[in-house]
Amino acid sequence: MNDTHEFEDAKTEAIQQRNGTFVTLKDLTTMMADFASERDWEKFHSPRNLLLALVGEVGELSEIFQWKGEVPRGLPDWSTAEREHLGEELSDVLLYLLRLADICEVDLGQAALGKLRKNALKYPVEECKGSSRQYNLYTHNKENL
């Protein structure tokens, strides 16, 4: 094993020891920034380039599901290899998203919490439970248009 892999493994182990098995968005963001810095890749990490890389990874993720039809929750018929591949592609999407947010100076955790709050107002349980109607069809939203 080379020094780079040992270093990366040591950083990962330190995070796991600090947080148990829980890894925060901040941990992943820091690791991605370090990863890019160590390789002198920051010059390539413009918002546009990261977005295009993210879209490419979403395409690779989509390919996994492309011809499978509807897939039941939990993926009961998937092999270990298929699940591992899915995990890798989901990870690629997450890591590029975190890197993009970092470069754009967006606190993704806080932005996501804010979006969840807005969605709770937009889709109140009493009006939309069990329904897939678009938000502007709910009574409370018609009044606010």
- DSSP-derived letter for residue 43 is G
Whole-number Å distance between alpha carbons of 117 and 113:
6
E strand or H helix that includes residue 139: helix 139-144
- Mean of pLDDT values over 79-100: 97
pLDDT mean across residues, the chain: 87
Query: 107-113: long-range contacts at Cβ-Cβ below 8 A with a sequence spacing of 24 or more?
Result: 108/25, 108/29, 109/25, 109/26
Indicate if the pLDDT at residue 14 is higher than 80: no
Measure CA of the first residue to CA of the last residue in the chain; give whole Å: 61
Which of these ranges, 9-18, 51-60, 92-101, 129-138, has the smallest mean pLDDT?
9-18
Q: What is the pLDDT of residue 108?
A: 96
Burial status of residue 119 (CB atoms within 10 A of its CB: 0-12, 13-18, 19 or more): exposed
Q: Which residue has the tokens 């890894």?
A: 23
Give the mean model confidence (pLDDT) for residues 101-127.
Answer: 93
Task: Band the pLDDT of 73: cuts 50, 70, 90.
Answer: very high
Tens-place pLDDT, residues 17-69: 665 678 899 999 999 999 999 999 999 999 999 999 999 999 999 999 999 99
Q: Which position has the higher pLDDT, 16 or 41?
A: 41
Distance from CA of residue 95 to its chain's centroid? 7
pLDDT for position 20: 64
Mean pLDDT within 63-89: 96
What length does the chain have? 145
Contact 124, 138 (CB under 8 A): yes
Q: Kindly report the pTM of this predicted structure.
A: 0.80
